[in-house]
Amino acid sequence: MLGFVIQRLLQAIMVMAVMSVIVFCGVYAIGNPIDIVIPPDATQDLREEAIRRLGLDQPLWKQYLTFAGNLMQGDFGRSFVYNIPVLELIGGRLPATLELVLISVLSATVLGVSLGVYAGYRPDSWLSKTIMAVSVLGFSVPSFWVGLILILTFAVNLGWLPAGGRGDTVLVWGVPFSFLTLDGLSHIVLPAINLALFKLAMMIRLARAGTREIMLTDTIKFARAAGISEAVILRRHLLKLISIPIITVFGLELGSTLAFAVVTETIFSWPGVGKLIIDSIGVLDRPVMVAYLILVAFLFVLINFTVDLVFALIDPRIRAGATE
């Protein structure tokens, strides 16, 4: 087991190193950010001074080494636009995004698996057909459009819920949370639904496909032949067997939801990193873009690593393979 963990850790570090090079080159190779920081009518001296200060006169590989060295020390540079350390900037926005993403993915998974298992268990009932029709919609309709409709319906026409912002927050261990206050909760409902809908559709499909397949296997037939009740078969045999694909997708989706939060945060003016990155892309604030991408890559690697570990814990076959 220890060997397995170390092997995975090394892999993760490799991926991070490669990602940092790709991201750095990708972002720094194109465009000239100096035009954004410096007013166009600035003197040549002022311009060169700024280029030196930002280190943009160095060759690309030297810039990368400086950047990588700083990265090791937790220094991601300063935002060209806000002129504060990037880490501070992103760190301030991250809790909002993580709160939104976690609530969305968790509720999508719980609801999606329940609905999907039902639809897979009784594929011919009208309720299952309705569930599947809705899931096709959730799958096809672009998420920004769903956001607009949610705002139009619940904020503009009905006036039940606010259309944007985070509302009141409560500090828990110094981190602000929205869902702990009534006002915050009312603010998070629409963006969370918006973000969750696609994942919900995906979980429904996954759970349904898995259920249909598993219910036809000899494992289930054998359990039935032994007189085990349908409730126990569903609750224990089926759930345990579909947990592997579900956990894989849960992990992957956690990452991609982080990315999709960009859209939702823009629509609902949710003050998270997604909104920050869109603004930064607009003004070519490179350090923020680089740090954001590195952060997303890091979260991806972290999630994959965790998923592998969880696998090893729940699947006895992998657990055995890892110790060999």
How many CB atoms are located within 10 Å of the residue 165 CB?
14
Question: Pattern 163-202, binding to other proteins, x per CB under 8 A?
Answer: x---------------------------------------
Residue 14 makes contact with other proteins by CB under 8 A: no
Judge whether 123 and 309 are in contact, CB under 8 Å. no
| Residue 200 in tokens | 């919900």
Q: Which of 119, 197, 223, 291 binds other proteins (CB under 8 A)?
A: 223
Is 237 an interacting residue with respect to other proteins (CB under 8 A)? yes
- What does DSSP assign to residue 285? -
Give min distance, CB of 154 to other proteins, in A.
13
H/E run at residue 19: helix 2-29
Q: Which is nearer to other proteins, 96 or 295 (CB)?
A: 295
Backbone conformation region of residue 173, classed left if phi is above 0, alpha if psi is from -120 to 50, else beta: left
Q: Looking only at residues 131 through 150 of this chain, which bind other proteins when binding is defined by CB under 8 A?
A: 136-137, 139-145, 148-149
Q: Which of 66, 266, 269, 306 binds other proteins (CB under 8 A)?
A: 266
Total of residues contacting other proteins (CB under 8 A): 66
Strand partners, 212: none
Of all helices (H) and strands (E), which one includes residue 64? Answer: helix 60-72
CA distance 171 to 168: 10
- Is 255 within 8 Å of 303 (Cβ atoms)? yes
Does 207 help bind other proteins (rule: CB under 8 A)? no
Contacts to other proteins by CB under 8 A: 15, 26-27, 30-31, 136-137, 139-145, 148-149, 151-152, 156, 163, 213, 216-219, 221-230, 232, 236-237, 240-241, 252, 255-256, 258-260, 262-263, 266-267, 277-278, 281-282, 284, 289, 293, 296-297, 300, 304, 314-317, 320
